[in-house]
Structure 1
């Protein structure tokens, strides 16, 4: 699939000064791809770092980090490739890994600091994540090692727990995600 084919259409409806609905934007969202996670695609569809108010003109709120701060939100689609797809047979050199981490941080700010360096893919965020599997299947892996099979039409709500996603299947898996930034107690 080429990057052009992977684009998703995004339509945002706003309101004019006269109170009439209007199409504020109708555009394509290209995937974010990083060498640290070959063949994975991250689509940032919408988000804000603070709760917006309505009515508004439908302009895209300004935000920079992949995960929202407390009071913010993100709307994303993540495509997980089958395990092993796009990965070289040899392990990266320390310099290659350093460069991949740097590129990933530039493309998906804040993602790396949520990761457990001892357990690839395991991460913890200060968010409530509402996830719906739109296509394919994968495993949700909890910090305890428990694996939960998730398939098309399944949903899960994560309340800030450490977790990872694995796709041992032959086809990609797409996860539609809404993340609400929250404060972690204690």
Structure 2
């Protein structure tokens, strides 16, 4: 998916202006799971500041998809129907390898013995932009989310399940946090 990202800020003259207007560079379209796509739109570090007059440098180029404590990430993800992952010729090993290559940081949070289940040290704002998707929690409990529904996750174990026959598109804002002891 090609997503136009317009970055605004303070230019070299101290005036508000457009620092960048281009297609987001960190788009990952999966070959092993057609229709699964993730785009990292923005990334902040714990020391990110506002109002900088420095030349624009894309903060997503070297960022992991999962923020460390004090960092944030903005992503768009398209989930194909689960039938893509359950088809007879689906290669789970190839998907896992591709996931690790394309979504560094996030891939390491997934449980090898529970497909799709993962836990992140972050507060996540999850917004359904199109379609519907189920948020699976512990013990198989599911919450069905539809277009414009929002889930706020606080470091809980979960998986996304698209049981419909069409893609679901979501926006995710992840804020890295320290896990309570």
Do they fold alike, i.e. is TM over 0.5? yes
Match of 2:98, SS state, is helix
Q: Does 1:49 align with 2:45?
A: yes
RMSD, matched Cα: 2.0
2:67/2:122 contact within 8 Å kept:
yes
- Residue 3 of structure 1 is matched in structure 2 by none
Give SS of 1:32's match.
Answer: strand
- 1:87-98 equivalence runs, <5 A: 88-90=87-89, 92=91, 97=93
Alpha-carbon spacing, 1:170–1:88, altered in 2? closer, same or farther (3 Å) = closer
2:115 match: 120
Gaps of 5+ in 1: 1-5
Structure 1 partner of 2:65: 66
Displacement of 1:65 in angstroms is 1.0
Is contact 1:126–1:184 with CA below 8 Å preserved after alignment?
yes
Aligned residues of 1:137 and 1:167 also touching (Cα < 8 A): yes
* Inter-partner Cα distance in structure 2 for 1:83 and 1:151: 16
1:107 is matched with which residue? 102
Query: Is this contact kept in 2: 1:38–1:87, CA < 8 A?
Result: no
- Cα offset, 1:144, TM superposition: 2.8
Residue 103 of structure 1 deviates from its aligned partner by: 3.1
Matches of 1:36 and 1:65 in 2, distance apart? Answer: 21
Distance 2:159 2:127 in 1: 15
Over residues 78-133 of structure 1, what are the superposed CA-to-partner deviations in whole Å (9 max), with x where a residue is unaligned? 111111126651353xxx82x54333222111222201111110100001000111
Flag the 1:43–1:91 CA change in 2: closer, same or farther, 3 A.
closer
Where structure 2 has 5 or more consecutive residues not aligned to the other structure, the ranges are: none
For 1:61 and 1:91, how far apart are their aligned partners in 2? Answer: 34
Question: Is 2:76 the counterpart of 1:77?
Answer: yes
Q: TM-score, normalised by structure 2?
A: 0.88
| Of 69-78 and 13-22, the range deviating more from structure 2 | 13-22
Scaled by the length of structure 1, what TM-score is found? 0.86
Q: How many residues align?
A: 177
The answer to whether the 8 Å contact 1:24/1:59 transfers is no
Partner residue of 1:21? 16
